[in-house]
């Protein structure tokens, strides 16, 4: 089963990612010159006999959260570091943007895992020689606000160090902007509940502004033009959820505005949903056409600028700018700046971590161990007690898609090996592909598993059942169907807050 929101297109190089994120978050490239603060716990060299091994996990996404959940408390001391205090169940995130589900139905509090330690912080540097990590606290950040909580702002939090016996890097990636002018300032991403909340507020606000007597029809057409860049499952599912909101709920409240509503998906590729076969992709496009959702392939966004309440989009090949009330950006991944910094770091006795030339990610072997080499083309050796899983990594001999499905399976596999007490033992990770799914609106979906395909209402039932089953806690396994029922009976909540 495909957990799609963690990767849909190619990723840029780590060098370009670091350059674009300069001023946002800088990962130190070498062991810093500052005097190390006193660590919060004793190092592995002073661990008492019989004391549990200290496993530090960086990240609370599908890889990091899944690993912390899999490791048994009796087998290791679990320490999790993340700038956000929760795990996001990304397949249902689009549903929260329109009120089909409430935000808390798509998140799991990290502290409910019963960890030995949790620090809401960014990891800014790792001293592999001394097994020490420098952290910067994020407790002052409004993580439910208008931006992704994993993006570092200008605020500076307290810094401190912690030590590890084993380290697992699972920091994920950032949204790829390709350097497009105005995207970082004016586009909305969809990677966290803060993003979903901001999108929901903008959609409802656009309808309120369009309903004002002082608003002209031309302005209404621009305010209610909702643009989505990216034709992967995340972009397609958001377009579908937005269509349902408009035609099942808002049409009853703003009947005069429905003719002005446009939902447009732009993608630079010749087709959308490339992970599905042609039959299923064509079914999706035919359904979108009947629903009035426009899909424009081989269209690239050149720039965005703000003009009052309207975003002006410059599309390659079009003379006039396109006015829109909202732009949701969902195309590609770029490396986390911590990863970019680690790849530039010289590690005594090991050289540098091997960078994947295509993605700029950390290269691992089949056992998830981080590989290093003294010189390009030289022998690759694993760093002692350092592992990496999820989007920020590439397996040396078996390139896997950057999806939540892969990250989740890697987390389970590595967690079981840590529980066994032999994380470096024989045997390599094998990915099992459970297929891909996408919701298309109007209670229709598509599902691809190998050569087999399913579409329509049966695929929608499978889509809902599968993601309900994969929910991490019993609390959400009960909350999600209850909210689906409430939405079906009483409609979506359209409160603005």
Please tell me the predicted confidence (pLDDT) of residue 145: 45
Please tell me the predicted confidence (pLDDT) of residue 51: 86
Please tell me the predicted confidence (pLDDT) of residue 398: 86
Tokens of 186: 């004016």
What is the b/e burial string over 23-56, where b = at least 16 CB atoms within 10 angstroms of the residue's CB?
eebbbbeebeeeeeeebebeebeebeeeeebbbb
Task: Evaluate whether 364 touches 386 at the Cβ level (below 8 Å).
Answer: no
CATH code of the domain made up of 54-176+334-420: 3.50.50.100
Distance CA(417)–CA(144), nearest Å, equals 35
Please tell me the predicted confidence (pLDDT) of residue 20: 37
Q: Rounded to a whole number, what is the largest CA-CA distance in the chain?
A: 76
HSE toward the beta carbon, residue 108, CA cutoff 13 A? 26
Residue 276 φ/ψ, nearest 5 degrees: -105, 155
Tokens of 405: 């499905």
Q: What does each of the 497 residues of the chain score in pLDDT, given as a tens digit?
A: 444 433 443 333 333 333 333 333 333 333 333 333 334 444 445 566 678 999 999 999 999 999 999 999 999 999 999 999 999 999 999 999 999 999 999 999 999 999 999 999 999 999 999 999 999 999 765 444 445 545 666 778 899 999 999 999 999 998 889 899 999 999 999 999 999 999 999 999 999 999 999 999 999 999 999 999 999 999 999 999 999 999 999 999 999 999 999 999 999 999 999 999 999 999 999 999 999 999 999 999 999 999 999 999 999 878 899 999 999 999 888 889 999 999 999 999 999 999 998 889 999 999 999 999 999 889 999 999 999 999 999 999 888 988 999 999 999 999 999 999 999 999 999 999 999 999 999 999 999 998 789 999 999 999 999 999 999 999 999 999 999 999 999 999 888 87
What strand order describes the sheet that includes 444-449? 436-441, 444-449, 452-456
- What is the length of the chain? 497
Please tell me the predicted confidence (pLDDT) of residue 319: 86
Distance CA(230)–CA(112), nearest Å, equals 34
Distance CA(284)–CA(288), nearest Å, equals 6
DSSP summary character for residue 366: T
Is residue 253 helix, strand or coil? helix
Please tell me the predicted confidence (pLDDT) of residue 141: 52
Radius of gyration of the chain (CA): 23
Distance CA(394)–CA(286), nearest Å, equals 36
Q: What stretch(es) of the chain map to CATH 3.50.50.100?
A: 54-176+334-420, 178-330
Distance CA(24)–CA(175), nearest Å, equals 14
CATH code of the domain made up of 178-330: 3.50.50.100
Please tell me the predicted confidence (pLDDT) of residue 67: 98
Tokens of 54: 């200290």
CA distance from start to end of the chain: 34
């Amino acid at each position: 089963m495909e957990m799609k929101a963690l990767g849909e297109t190619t990723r840029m190089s780590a060098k370009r990612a670091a350059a674009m994120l300069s001023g946002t978050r800088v990962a130190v490239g070498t062991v810093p010159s500052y005097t190390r603060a006193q660590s919060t716990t004793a190092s592995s060299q002073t661990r008492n006999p019989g004391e549990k091994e200290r496993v530090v996990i960086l990240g609370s996404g599908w890889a990091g959260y899944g690993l912390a959940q899999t490791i048994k408390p009796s087998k290791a001391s679990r320490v999790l570091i993340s700038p956000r205090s929760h795990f996001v169940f990304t397949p249902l995130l689009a549903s929260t943007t329109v009120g089909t589900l409430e935000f808390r139905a798509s998140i799991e509090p990290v502290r409910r895992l019963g960890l030995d330690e949790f620090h809401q912080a960014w990891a800014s540097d790792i001293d592999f020689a001394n097994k020490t990590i420098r952290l910067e606290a994020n407790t002052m950040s409004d993580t439910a606000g208008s931006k992704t909580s994993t993006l570092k702002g200008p605020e500076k939090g307290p810094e401190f160090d912690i030590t590890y016996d084993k380290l697992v890097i699972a920091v994920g990636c950032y949204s790829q902007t390709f350097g497009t002018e105005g995207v970082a300032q004016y586009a909305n991403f969809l990677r966290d509940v803060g993003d979903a909340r901001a999108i929901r507020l903008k959609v409802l606000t656009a309808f309120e502004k369009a309903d004002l007597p002082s608003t002209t029809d031309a302005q209404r057409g621009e305010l209610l033009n909702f643009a989505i860049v990216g034709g992967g499952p995340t972009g397609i599912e958001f377009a579908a959820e937005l269509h349902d909101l408009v035609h099942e709920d808002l049409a009853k409240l703003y009947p005069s505005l429905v003719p002005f509503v446009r939902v447009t998906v732009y993608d630079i590729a010749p087709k959308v949903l490339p992970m599905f076969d042609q039959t299923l992709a064509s079914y999706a496009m035919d359904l979108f056409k009947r629903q009035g959702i426009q899909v424009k392939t081989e269209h690239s966004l050149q720039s965005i600028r703000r003009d009052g309440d309207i975003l002006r989009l410059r599309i390659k090949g079009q003379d006039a700018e396109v006015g829109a009330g909202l732009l949701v950006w969902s195309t590609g991944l770029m490396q986390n700046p911590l990863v970019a910094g680690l790849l530039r770091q010289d590690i005594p006795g090991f050289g540098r971590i091997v960078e994947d030339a295509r993605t700029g990610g950390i290269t691992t072997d089949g056992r998830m161990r981080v590989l290093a080499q003294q010189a390009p083309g030289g022998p690759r050796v694993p760093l002692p007690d350092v592992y990496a899983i999820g989007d920020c990594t590439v397996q040396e001999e078996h390139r896997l898609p950057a999806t939540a499905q892969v990250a989740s399976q890697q987390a389970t596999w590595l967690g079981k090996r840590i529980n066994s007490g032999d994380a470096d033992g024989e045997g390599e990770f094998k990915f099992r592909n459970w297929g891909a799914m996408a919701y298309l609106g109007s209670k229709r979906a598509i599902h691809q598993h190998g050569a087999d395909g399913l579409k329509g209402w049966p695929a929608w039932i499978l889509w809902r059942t599968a993601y309900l089953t994969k929910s991490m806690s019993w609390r959400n396994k009960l909350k999600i169907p209850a909210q689906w029922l409430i939405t079906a009976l009483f409609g979506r909540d359209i409160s603005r807050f």
